[in-house]
Amino acid sequence: MLSPLPIVERSILVFSTWAVLGFLGLGLLLEGLTRDSVTLSSLGVGGIVFAFVVHIVINGVFDTGFSPGETALGIGAYGLLGLVFVIGAITGETTTADFYSGLIFFGVLALGFLTYLFTRHGLRGAFSRFHVKPASLGEGA
C-alpha cells in the first residue's frame, strides 16, 4: 500500500493541473462562446483535453487510476453541461457558433473518454467495465 505522502503529492498535482490548464481552457471556451468564435472555443476545448491528458499522465506516474470522486465529478459535470446544452438548443438561445462549439466540445470529450477506455482496458475490458452479468444467471448461463 502506498504511504500517504504519494497520495497527497498526486492530489496536489491533479488539483494544480486542473486549476491552471483546466480553468484556462474553460476561460477560452467561455470567451469563444461570448464572442461567437468557434476557433477560440475550440482552443478552450483543446486546453481542457490537454488537462485531461496531463491527469492521465499523473495517474500513470503514480500508478493509480481515477478516484471514485474524480470519476463522479467528471461524469456529473459532463451530464450537467450536456443538459444545459440541450436545453439551450431546444429553446433557441444558442447561436450557430455556440451550437458548433458545443458539438465540438461534447464530441471531443466523448471520443477522448472512449479512447481512454480502449487504451487502458482494451476493447473487451472496456465493455466489461459497463456490462454487469446478473448473479441470478449463474456461471453456466
Q: Is residue 72 part of a domain?
A: yes
- Is the pLDDT at 127 greater than 70? The verdict is no
Q: Do 85 and 106 meet the contact criterion of CB atoms below 8 Å apart?
A: yes
Q: Is residue 121 part of a domain?
A: yes
Interval 50-97: pLDDT, tens: 999 999 999 989 988 888 899 899 889 989 998 999 998 899 888 999
Domain span holding position 89: 4-130
- Tally of domains in the chain: 1
Assessment of whether the complete model's pTM goes beyond 0.75: yes
Q: How far is CA 114 from CA 76, 95, 102, in A?
A: 17, 29, 18
Q: Is residue 137 part of a domain?
A: no
CA 91, 97, 100, 104 dihedral sign is: negative
d(CA 43, CA 25): 7
